[in-house]
Amino acid sequence: MKKIKKALISVSNKEELMPLLNTLSKYKIKLISSGGTYNKIKKLKHKCIEISKYTNSPEILNGRVKTLHPKIHAGILSKRNNKSHKKELIKNNFDEIDLVIVNFYPFEETLKNTKNHSKIIEDIDVGGPTMVRAAAKNYNDVTVITSPKQYKGLINELRFNKGSTSLTFRQKMSEEAFSETAYYDALISNYFNKISKNFFPKKKIFYSNLVEKLRYGENPHQESAVYSKTNKLDISQIHGKQLSYNNYNDIFSALIISKSLPKNIGTVIVKHANPCGVSINKNNKKSYQLALACDPVSAFGGVVSCNYKVNKNLALELNKIFLEVIIANGFEKEAIRILKKKKNLRIIDAKNLAFENMYNFMSNFNSILVQSTDINPFVKKNFRIVSKKKPSAIELKNLIFAFNICRFVKSNAIVLAKNNTTVGIGSGQPSRLDSCKIAINKMHQFQKTNNTDGIVAASDAFFPFVDGIETLVQAGISAIIQPSGSIRDKEIIKFANKTETVLVFSKTRHFKH
């Protein structure tokens, strides 16, 4: 146990101070503080010594130097059982500081609120992290508190131990303190990487906050958690069972497709992180029905993502089959009431989710793969018509729609589409030809008509041989879009011309492994 006699308080977030100050006062703990924190403590009618008076050194450089003083850091870093340390403190007339309560300038909030570089630089805290690191290093003798969320635990610790703290508590607070300083430095490091456009620096620092520990990972024997760069996710669960690792994986897969669709239009159905139906019909209910019709068997127990607000009529339709998760850009009250009849159905509101450039990470064998996301919207200049037969405006729109969905399907990927709706999807096969056959079989299995007029196909990469495109044409496909780059591109174009098939080449490939 370590008795706390003197505490240094310097906080940017001045909430919840009163209960803490009352407890410190109860155990006759002397307070040192500076600037706004000192004024706040005095306003709350508690005794406090201002740091400049404590050190006999004024704040200088517009407040940049306040706590960076030997009397402060010697008081924090001295080992209580080290005789030479004790002698040096006595010689210099320095006192021990037993408790450090510090939280930093709100650098993260500043980044959200301004692009003014000078303002951002001034909100990089120097003294705060320095004191926290010193106190955390000396946890054997010093208690460090870095967040108002820890005040309650400190208060309970002091009450239980009559003004002292246990080694276990101090060590736990030290662990959290070093995480706090590391997170803070990572924010600053990433800010400088961003402004210099150095997206792959020699040392890459990752930072995130725990959102929640999950029940388990992909399988029950695996541990799992979800983290976010902010303190929360930009999606909110408003009903249903706790989300699992697999739920999150499917939700993220569904959302990235949804957010690539036209604003407030389109329905996506995902199963095992693969789309099994997508439609951008302007009628929301019909878009869901058309997406479902693409592969109703796979949709069972899947995730539906509605790129619009769900109303009562659609809610009634959604409740007709078993679904794990329903996502939307908001829900009408009556729709919520209807969907909540299924107590385990997870309902997710994603209206606050922003669609922006991000980076994807994959980790194995103590290595991390990093890449930018493949989400840039397609425009006509991304494509080149290489066949003699030219696509109509409707055909080209359908081709680009299919190609957009294709990039979110596990490779090798083939997407068949008509009227801005998928009618067959082949995914995740080592052979592109097999993906073609799966997509065609799905189309024949679930479409209510044998009429293939207007059906187009998209491939996420080039056809290495004619057999793939030949299989599609024999199934009645009239237009195909694929990336160029094969040594047999000329053979593919020749076959398209021979069969009077529209062929469009993309300038970019879109694998998703």
Report pLDDT digits (tens) over 87-110.
999 999 999 999 999 999 999 889
Beta strands at 479-483 and 502-506: parallel, antiparallel or unpaired: parallel
Asked if residue 364 lies in contact with residue 387, where contact means CB atoms within 8 angstroms, the answer is no
User: How many whole angstroms separate alpha carbon 320 and alpha carbon 323?
Assistant: 9
Report pLDDT digits (tens) over 407-445.
999 999 999 999 999 999 999 999 999 999 999 999 999
- Give the pLDDT score at 97: 96
Quick one: 2-195 is in which CATH superfamily? Methylglyoxal synthase-like domain (3.40.50.1380)
Average pLDDT over residues 123-129: 91
Asked if residue 439 lies in contact with residue 416, where contact means CB atoms within 8 angstroms, the answer is yes
Beta strands at 99-103 and 143-145: parallel, antiparallel or unpaired: parallel
- Give the pLDDT score at 374: 86
- Give the pLDDT score at 60: 84
Asked if residue 464 lies in contact with residue 430, where contact means CB atoms within 8 angstroms, the answer is no
- Give the pLDDT score at 226: 92
Is a pLDDT exceeding 80 seen at residue 356?
Answer: no
**DSSP code, position 310:** B
Asked if residue 453 lies in contact with residue 505, where contact means CB atoms within 8 angstroms, the answer is no
3-state secondary structure 488-509: CHHHHHHHHHHCCCEEEEECCC
34-38, 143-147, 499-503: range with lowest mean pLDDT = 34-38
Is a pLDDT exceeding 80 seen at residue 355?
Answer: no
- Residue-range domain boundaries for the chain: 2-195, 235-349, 380-506
Is residue 231 very low, low, confident or very high in pLDDT (cuts 50, 70, 90)?
low
Helices (H) and strands (E) in the chain, counts: 19, 23
Q: Is 368 exposed, middle or buried (0-12, 13-18, 19+ CB in 10 A)?
A: exposed
Asked if residue 123 lies in contact with residue 141, where contact means CB atoms within 8 angstroms, the answer is no
Report pLDDT digits (tens) over 251-272.
999 999 999 999 999 999 999 9
CATH fold of 380-506: Cytidine Deaminase; domain 2 (3.40.140)
Domain 2-195 identical in fold to domain 380-506: no
Report pLDDT digits (tens) over 184-197.
999 999 999 999 99
Query: Where does residue 441 fall: left (phi above 0), alpha (psi -120 to 50 degrees), or beta otherwise?
Result: alpha
Q: Which residue has the tokens 């792959």?
A: 200
- Tell me the CATH class for 235-349: alpha beta
Take residue 45 and report the two structure tokens written for it: 């009618």
Is residue 67 very low, low, confident or very high in pLDDT (cuts 50, 70, 90)?
confident
- Give the pLDDT score at 62: 81
Per cent of the chain over pLDDT 90 is 82
Angle at 349 between CA 359 and CA 224, to 5 degrees: 55
- How long a stretch of residues is the chain? 513
- Give the pLDDT score at 354: 80
Asked if residue 288 lies in contact with residue 280, where contact means CB atoms within 8 angstroms, the answer is no
Beta strands at 267-271 and 303-306: parallel, antiparallel or unpaired: antiparallel
**DSSP code, position 390:** P
Is residue 358 very low, low, confident or very high in pLDDT (cuts 50, 70, 90)?
confident
User: How many whole angstroms separate alpha carbon 188 and alpha carbon 475?
Assistant: 56
Torsion sign over Cα 73, 74, 75, 79: positive
Take residue 336 and report the two structure tokens written for it: 């919520």
Enzyme catalytic residues: 137, 272
Average pLDDT over residues 437-459: 92
Q: Of 166-170, 230-234, 452-456, where does the model show the most confidence?
A: 166-170
How many beta carbons lie within 10 A of that of residue 227, not counting itself?
12
